[in-house]
């Protein structure tokens, strides 16, 4: 049996939820970096296929805080971090039956709630167009 001194079953559930949240945060940061690099590469490739900005202008657009490319990536990263934060809250809320739920059950519950949140946001956003 898993003996973790000082942690109740509820504490273990919360600790695992936080652990998954931190791991997810690392993945989100890596993904945001990959997206930024992809955006930059895509923008540079576009300059080579038609009349567009120079590669230096695109590089500056993606690396200075006033650039549209930079702002787009910051917004995407902020949204991803907000979703991760919400997922962590849901994971804690879903772990409401200490000792009777597996980590997978808690994680699946949190994912379902987050998916429903995202779907509701999308429906709400589309309704205001």
pLDDT (0 to 100) of residue 2: 53
Q: Are 126 and 106 in contact (CB under 8 A)?
A: no
Does 6 fall in a domain?
no
pLDDT higher for 64 or 48?
Answer: 64
- Give whole-number Cα distances, 88 to 7, 29, 65, 92, 94, in Å: 19, 16, 29, 6, 10
Q: List pLDDT tens digits, range 80-120.
A: 888 888 888 888 888 888 788 888 888 899 899 988 988 88
Specify the 3-state DSSP secondary structure of 69.
Answer: helix
Does 34 fall in a domain?
yes
Does 3 fall in a domain?
no
Does 5 fall in a domain?
no
Asked if pLDDT for residue 47 goes beyond 70, the answer is: no
Across all residues in the chain, what is the average pLDDT?
Answer: 78
Domain count, the chain: 1
pLDDT (0 to 100) of residue 100: 86
Crossing angle between the packed helical segments 68-94 and 9-47, to the nearest 10 degrees: 160
Does 27 fall in a domain?
yes
Does 4 fall in a domain?
no
Would you give the distance in Å from CA 83 to the centre of its chain? 5
Domain assignment of residue 44, given as a range: 11-127
């Amino acid at each position: 049996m898993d003996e973790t001194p000082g942690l109740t079953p509820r504490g273990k559930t919360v600790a695992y939820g936080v652990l998954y949240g931190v791991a997810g945060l690392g993945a989100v940061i890596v993904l945001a970096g990959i997206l930024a690099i992809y955006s930059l590469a895509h923008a540079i490739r576009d300059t080579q296929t038609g009349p567009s900005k120079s590669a230096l202008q695109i590089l500056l657009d993606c690396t200075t805080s006033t650039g549209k490319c930079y702002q787009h990536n910051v917004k995407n990263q902020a949204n991803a971090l907000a979703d991760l934060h919400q997922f962590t809250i849901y994971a804690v809320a879903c772990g409401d039956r200490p000792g009777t739920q597996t980590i997978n059950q808690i994680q699946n519950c949190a994912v379902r709630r987050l998916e429903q949140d995202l779907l509701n946001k999308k429906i709400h956003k589309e309704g205001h167009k």
